[in-house]
Amino acid sequence: MPENKFCLDQVSERIVRWESSMPEIPIVDNDVSLFPVWVLALSVFWVVISIAKWKLHPFLALISAAIFVGLLSGPLPEKTIENTGLFEKRVNLNETDANNSNLTLAVKWSLLGFGNTAGGIGLIIALAAIVGTCMMKSGAAERIVRHLLALFGEKRAGLVLLLSGFLLSIPVFFDTVFFLLIPLARAMAIRAGGRYLYFVMAMAGAGAITHSMVPPTPGPLMIATLLKIEFGNAMVAGLLVSLPLAALVLWVCRQFENKYSFPMRDVGGIKNSELEKTLSKNLSELPPLVFSYLPILLPVVLITLVSLLKLLEELGVNLFFLRATLDNGIFRILSFFGDPNIAMSIAALVSALLLVSQEKKVSAAESGTGFSLSKTLESPLFTAGSIILITGAGGAYGGMIRLSGVGEVISHYASQLNLSYVLLAWGITAFIRIAQGSATVAMITGAGLMSTIIGDGSSLSYHPVYVFLAIGFGSITLSWMNDSGFWVVQKLSGFTEREMLRTWSTLLTVISVSGVIISLLGTILLPLR
């Protein structure tokens, strides 16, 4: 017994020493109600299950989730001009008084969030759809690809396709870009005598990056709107971070090429005759190079120029006649044309004129008159309308989340546990992306939640653009069977589901993880504060 007692004393002493050496664990405040978090969890569960399992349209899933959050967050106040700022700053709902039922007010507040979001970015989405369609139909997109191929050579065909996917996915939806470029990837594979996997993954991987990271595509546009980040700053940050990741895509694709040998299978809808037609087109049949690039370069230059001038002004740089002040007439003009809606309108006009010009050439050569611009644009505008509904409903959902006060709760616990907001933003978005498949829905949900936590970002030790980047990278994570983009790539490339999981899913996850690491390093090395 004495020996046992001695042993026990030794063990106890060691335990005390071990406990004293352990880092202090933050104590969570039990006075903070977790009810808003449960409301958020239930609403996210509803969004995920309704979209992924029951195949409910994302618009219906998100708008119903917004109303659901409003019902559980009540009692809600009356919607007046004075308190519309509820979406910006939380108030104590328990102290409000409303005459209408909470159901009615939940609907009203949800519609306010829908209208604010759709009104803010709806036009840009519609214009981006017009730009994409006109570039395809006119041959401008193909002209860009040909130029890059001539510039870099056929030996660097993989780099050409990567750059094509990278650039075209900025104004054009990812699905559209893949539809456009997959015949060229197949044609290049025939020329090269193989390397089909390398070409497809390089093109699609680069397109996925800019689609999720660079406005004016709907997802990053929505993130920038909710986080109150200037579109120009979002564009620049997204482009700068996307460049090293595009290089990473090339390296990963080379590893795939060395490891796997997937055949180029016949795919319905893409015939050999179409490939031969693509290869045999003359440059004279395509638009001039300068005009082909304009729909992409114009909005990027106009929007980023204004943001750059503002930044230089804040840094104290003497801009002379270009000083970024409201009393400067030149800057006011630049600000007008640099407005995202105006810049995209100009790009849409240029792309439409380019299409009309090309169709006139074809009609003159073939003595035909069958072209109608309005009919050509019906399909892309129909698609854009659906996207506007989804993003508007996402804005309503994000607004009601802000109204529920969940942001304050998560912010409280995050500060108690010393969690990085960048890592938190990435983790939330990645979870939603993996669970329900849609990158856009994941971005909208993640941005809506993070906007409640960081507000205008003034309390952060780094620029909120890093949170923007983290949300974008989170939305890229692990594309698999519940992602429509997964099936677009699979069906048009001819790869099997197993081959897609081993390559495509792996590639996007590598991009996502690498991206959030870069974002975290940026907050330390280059906080921009």
**200-224 pLDDT, tens per residue?**
999 999 999 998 998 877 789 889 9
CA distance to 163, 258, 275, 466, per residue, from 269 (Å): 25, 29, 11, 41
Which pair of tokens denotes residue 131? 């730009």
Percent of residues, the chain, with pLDDT higher than 70: 80
CA distance to 42, 108, 224, 252, 323, per residue, from 213 (Å): 28, 32, 10, 19, 29
How far is it, in rounded angstroms, from Cα 343 to Cα 242? 22
For residue 314, count other CB atoms closer than 10 A to its CB: 9
Average pLDDT score over the chain: 78
pLDDT value for 205: 94
**283-306 pLDDT, tens per residue?**
777 888 898 888 878 887 887 787
**314-324 pLDDT, tens per residue?**
667 777 777 77
Hey, is 267 helix, strand or coil?
Answer: strand
DSSP letters, 298-320, are HHHHHHHHHHHHHHHHHTT---G
How far is it, in rounded angstroms, from Cα 221 to Cα 378? 23
Give the list of residues 6+ apart from residue 26 with CB closer than 8 angstroms, or none. Answer: 416, 417, 418
**140-152 pLDDT, tens per residue?**
877 887 787 788 8
pLDDT value for 396: 83
Give the pLDDT band (50/70/90) at residue 253. Answer: very high
Give the pLDDT band (50/70/90) at residue 183. Answer: low
Which pair of tokens denotes residue 224? 């920038």
User: For residue 34, what is the DSSP state?
Assistant: -
**342-363 pLDDT, tens per residue?**
888 998 999 899 988 888 876 6
